[in-house]
Structure 1
Amino acid sequence: MPIPIRRAESADLDAAAGTLAAAFDDYDWTRWTIPAEGYRDRLEQLQRMYLGHARDQGVVLVSDDLRGVIALLPPFASPPTAEFQREVARLHGERLAVLTQAQIPAQPENAWNLATLGVHPDSRGIGLGAALVQAGLAAVAQVSGAAASVAMETSGERNVARYERAGFTVTATTLIEQGPTVYSMVHIAAR
């Protein structure tokens, strides 16, 4: 039975940010880039900001029960405002310096960015993440055409195989000194 996935509405974003905060609670990248003090609150605030930007500029999809979320940004998205960037810097606090020093390869030109994907821990193992990825790729194809590519990064080694099953390939592996390993990946649609 297919899992119902739909475009997020503004009213969904707070709950969706809560889902992402739960999904990323023990994630290497967020644990490395967000201060331990007030971590969960900072994480949820950052996720809410990013979801709002992605909904305004790209595509945010959710499961009907809001236990799964995916956000994608098009290559033509406007950059966040200066106010947005200041708030992001405030929430990252003293960890902003390590975040800005990370040397991760640029994503391919004209590729969409799979900015985030998260499934609430209580809803893992039922295929929700895979359904969100497929729905996200379909939404990108609908907006940009069947040949659109989608790029992303993950610092979860287990995630690599999951994304490979969806047609992504690893394009770079970045070992960050005293930080997580980041896998850059891309999905190139059949032409």
Structure 2
Amino acid sequence: MQERKRNQRYSKSTSREKTKKSNQIIEKLLKRIFIQNSLFQVLFFLIISVVIGFGSNWLKDDPIPLFAVKLKIATTDDLLSDIVTESVLRAIGLDQARKFHNEDVVFVDARDLEYYEEGHIPGAWNSNHFMELIFKLDSLQGKDRSIVTYCDGDDCGSSEDLAYDLQNEGFTKIFVFVGGWSEWQQAGYSIKK
């Protein structure tokens, strides 16, 4: 009789252990399925988002290019005279920037205000307050006069971003001085602090 009770206790504890183990296995399987399901959902929504994004861009009248087009540096007066009639951005080098500066073309510094205050091309305006800049440019010279944007140098894209923003506001003759502040300063041209 005692042995029978012992066997019953043993079988109860064994069945509890089996139940506990089976619950653990089920729990692990559910976690695995949930994680796999979550990863599948994330991947699915990511693919759908990319397809929708590219599809809507492709259907637009003026799609955004997949790769940025590098601006070509305008080096001759003939090329610059052709640009005057088009609403496109052109990059200019140091010689053309100097020529524009001597002709009192407006220069806009795309760098942060603290860098602008440390030194800038004489007569250049700072772009930190964009709406004020647009109003000032439009009221003083209109949207069809030349503007040169610049920032720190070749690696700085702020001048190009600013140029595109100005173009979106209706300005038509925008030039990006690629060498920017660094090249101007290295050439020994006058600076203002």
TM-score in terms of structure 2 length: 0.25
Larger RCO, structures 1/2 (Cα 8 Å, 6+ apart) = 1
TM-score (normalised: structure 1):
0.25
Structure ranking higher in helix proportion:
2
